[in-house]
Structure 1
Amino acid sequence: MRIMVTGIPSYLMRTVESVSGATVRHRPYFEAVRTKNDLIAQVKKIANTGNYLIGEGAAHSVRGHDVTYVPFWHLANSVNSPETYEKLNQSFDLCLFASANLLRPGYAATTESFVFERLNMPIVVMGIGIQKKENLKDALPEGTRRFLNVLKKKESFFLTRGHFTADFLKAEGMNYVRPTGCPSLYYEPAAMKRSLSHLADPDLADAQKIAFGGYLGSVPDTIVDAHALLRQDSIASYVIQDEITVYNLNILAEETDDAYDQAAGRIVAKTEYKHAEKWQRNCEFRVFFDTHKWRSWVSGQDFCFGRRFHGSIIGMQSGVPALMIAVDDRMREMLDFVGFPYIEASVWNREAKKKAFLQDFLSKIDVPAAIHRYSACEENFNAALKDIGIR
């Protein structure tokens, strides 16, 4: 089967040189990331580096087929080009659209509706989810309603991040809807199970090589987490995903000054952000534009702990035990679906003796049950792909 993968991309979108019709040309190298300008530009291209895992997982799920990644910007820029869409419709048998928080009040999927209106092939929307449950039906933008109406009239398949999104789409009249979880969950299933197998260990609360994730620049929560777990002589390793473009974590350098060490995946320039003065530990900032480099680095950590879903999933893809603090509806939906242990942010934030609480929580995790639930989700995902005809 000839499959066009589009939507949220993997890190390989960084090699796209040009697109014409249905032909995508790639460079045999990545653009260098060295200066402050380079760093910010690369983050802006993907919006959030955690998105790389979504695109990578979606593309990996259809390996074995004739797969071409076509950047969504090309489809959007060509909506008024019948010749381009004629070529696309001739060249592909199915479109796999990697998605994330598409169903939300602040985003209108108008462009997506025009693109899918012009594609004469089955559409698989993979990983679609809801960012916030409250008043979604009433607050859904008109462009997103158009998007849903277009797909309702086509041969379309929705593989959702969880049950709430699936129920919402069924109520909207979508024909094939199946909750499967985020596609990133199934990129390295053996490593994911290995990660889970090591999680019920209270000694992880004493680990000093921890990959932290959160929302620095907005709230000081991760600083509090690091202080609770790390000794004063330890270094807090924090992985940035979108903070430098969304949460005002600023790079203190001139635009063309060196700011990033590509080999280490580390920001080398000084930074400033809200609550930075609260630190009582040395800290380092990592950011990765290649998921293999990210996994390579995180595999050297003992524990992943934090408030970012994909920042923890990539640790699990490397076999490293990971525990998430659920901060919003999207995380809860994904975590509840796959059955991974997690701590509610409201519970963790008010806990005075955080390390003791964490040790107790870890000691009570039912590892066999977690692995069994994950294995069932993996089977469900593969069964959905088989139903659609792409497994």
Structure 2
Amino acid sequence: MRVLIRGGKPPHVPVSPEASLARWGWGIFGSNVGNALYLESVYRALHTPDTDMTVDSLYVELSKDPAAMASAINGSFDVYVIPLANAFRRDFLPSLDRLTAVIRLLTIPVVITGVGGQSDVGGDMSDPEVDGSVARFVSAVLDRSRSLGVRGEQTAAYLNRLGFGSDVVDVIGCPSMFDHDGTHRVERTKERIDENSPIAFNVAINIDPAAGFDRVIRHHVDAYPNLVYVPQEHHELAMLLWGTDASTTRPDMPLDRTHPFYRQDRIRFFLDPTTWKSFMKEQDFAFGSRIHGNVAALAAGTPAVLLCHDARTQELADYHRIPYRVYEGGVADAAELYETASFDELNAFMPEAFARYTAFLDRNGLAHIHQSGRAHPAYEAALAAAPFPAAVRSYAAETTEFERELLRKLAWLRQGEKNDAARWVGGYMPEWKPV
């Protein structure tokens, strides 16, 4: 079985931070490193001894020649697997439409392993500017698969309103929750956390200022000196590598080199799920507004709580029974979140959620390691031996005037995302590039 899978790079292939950022100008991980978590999970699940896995390096959705792309895929692969997140949204429409154009010309099966919509908490995912593209995409996929895997009940209801019934829409959650089998559990190993506890914090940098997350950050900077911020977006990686500040007027958000998290060396950017989850195993607790920032902790067995601010994160938390709080302002203190969180429902539902996910893979004819009960030994060995780069950190705590001048020069030399993307020497060379 020859499988083409959507993603930036194979999970067991290490790529330097600089080359990771330079790829496409917005990162080998597709602008948000959270994408790497569910790619790794699906890649591992489908990588049986009889399967040849190839990552598409995001070429398919960037193609301007769908006929040539489809021809290259049809002649080389037996199935195209597409892990997606909240792809039913306005700013992803160009990529979604290009995917649709290619899929319509494919003669092989196409399987979507988790996709979702986007809206405010409690809102309707319907959007006149999005609905038509979504309907065309789903129709094209269902012509080549038995069902579509979606992230939660809200997305399923949205597709039902577009005319796609429950007979062809399977709610499977996010594959990144199934990196283990159905016996995985999350337990609180500490009775409580205090000001000295190691804590991981995450936040979406484009979150509405009115949400009040600035106050959460301001409080935790001083109250928890061992709290570390774990960013996910390529703009934040650029800040750490090149001193390029994000454009913002929000001084309490960790978006420039003056922020205490940066000056105190309390930022860790992880490029690979392996190093990310290893770090999370060392934390007592994780919390914040990013669903995959918290899923990375849960997958490592570390308690985590989502501060929910939109429907895309809420539906995943609802489905998997991830503890969350709809954030409506205030401090949301870490110790209080930890004390009141219960993981009983998440643990109790895990076997059923895992069974639903593997049933979806079976329904769509995908061989997977859970059928045999063992992982591919060669892949697991390669993953364990891979020399992944360490987490990217701030250049220096409390930088001197000389260091600030050096960072300014580095930012000038980089000359922005377009020039960064053009630097191929020492960069990542995809294993598959269509003609």
TM-score normalized with structure 1 length: 0.76
CA contact (8 A) 1:205 1:229 kept: no
1:58 and 2:31 aligned: no
Structure 2: unaligned runs, 5 residues or longer: 254-258, 369-435
Q: CA deviation at 1:205?
A: 5.6
In the alignment, the residues of structure 2 paired with residue 295 and residue 191 of structure 1 have an alpha-carbon distance, to the nearest angstrom, of: 18
Question: How many residues were matched structurally?
Answer: 348
RMSD: 3.5
Q: Which residue of 2 aligns with 1:317?
A: 299
The aligned runs of 1:177-326 (5 Å cut-off) are 177-189=169-181, 192-193=184-185, 196-198=186-188, 203-204=192-193, 206=195, 208-216=197-205, 219=209, 221-229=212-220, 232=223, 234-242=225-233, 244=235, 251=239, 259-260=240-241, 269=243, 273-276=248-251, 282=264, 284-326=266-308
Q: Which residue of 2 aligns with 1:69?
A: 55
SS in 1 for 2:104: helix
Q: Which residue of 1 aligns with 2:389?
A: none
Summarize the Cα distance change of 1:86–1:368 in structure 2 as closer, same or farther, 3 Å threshold.
same
CA contact (8 A) 1:54 1:127 kept: no
Summarize the Cα distance change of 1:207–1:371 in structure 2 as closer, same or farther, 3 Å threshold.
farther
In the alignment, the residues of structure 2 paired with residue 316 and residue 356 of structure 1 have an alpha-carbon distance, to the nearest angstrom, of: 17
CA contact (8 A) 1:191 1:317 kept: no
Q: Which residue of 2 aligns with 1:97?
A: 82
Structure 1: unaligned runs, 5 residues or longer: 16-28, 252-258, 261-266
Q: CA deviation at 1:230?
A: 6.3
CA contact (8 A) 1:207 1:303 kept: no
Q: CA deviation at 1:62?
A: 1.2
In the alignment, the residues of structure 1 paired with residue 334 and residue 37 of structure 2 have an alpha-carbon distance, to the nearest angstrom, of: 30
SS in 2 for 1:118: coil
SS in 1 for 2:118: coil
The aligned runs of 1:371-390 (5 Å cut-off) are 371-390=347-366
Q: CA deviation at 1:214?
A: 0.5
Q: Which of 43-52 and 168-177 deviates more?
A: 168-177
Aligned letter for 1:323?
V
The aligned runs of 1:24-43 (5 Å cut-off) are 30-31=15-16, 33=18, 41=25, 43=27
Q: CA deviation at 1:50?
A: 0.9
Aligned letter for 1:122?
P
Q: Which residue of 2 aligns with 1:254?
A: none
The aligned runs of 1:300-379 (5 Å cut-off) are 300-346=282-328, 349-350=329-330, 354=333, 357-358=336-337, 361-362=340-341, 365=342, 367-379=343-355
The aligned runs of 1:4-153 (5 Å cut-off) are 4-6=4-6, 9=7, 11-12=9-10, 30-31=15-16, 33=18, 41=25, 43=27, 46-64=30-48, 65-74=51-60, 76-77=62-63, 79-82=65-68, 85-108=70-93, 109-132=96-119, 133-134=123-124, 136-140=126-130, 142-153=132-143
By relative contact order (CA 8 Å, sep 6+), the higher-ranking structure is 2
In the alignment, the residues of structure 2 paired with residue 335 and residue 311 of structure 1 have an alpha-carbon distance, to the nearest angstrom, of: 13
Summarize the Cα distance change of 1:225–1:75 in structure 2 as closer, same or farther, 3 Å threshold.
closer
Q: CA deviation at 1:212?
A: 0.6
Q: CA deviation at 1:75?
A: 6.5
Q: CA deviation at 1:30?
A: 2.2
Summarize the Cα distance change of 1:295–1:173 in structure 2 as closer, same or farther, 3 Å threshold.
same
Specify which structure has the higher proportion of strand: 1
Aligned letter for 2:347?
I
CA contact (8 A) 1:214 1:221 kept: no
SS in 2 for 1:312: helix
SS in 2 for 1:136: coil
Q: CA deviation at 1:71?
A: 2.8
Summarize the Cα distance change of 1:107–1:58 in structure 2 as closer, same or farther, 3 Å threshold.
same
Q: Which residue of 2 aligns with 1:23?
A: none
Q: CA deviation at 1:152?
A: 4.2
Summarize the Cα distance change of 1:156–1:354 in structure 2 as closer, same or farther, 3 Å threshold.
same
TM-score normalized with structure 2 length: 0.69
Summarize the Cα distance change of 1:156–1:243 in structure 2 as closer, same or farther, 3 Å threshold.
same
Aligned pair partner of 1:165 in 143, 152, 155: 155
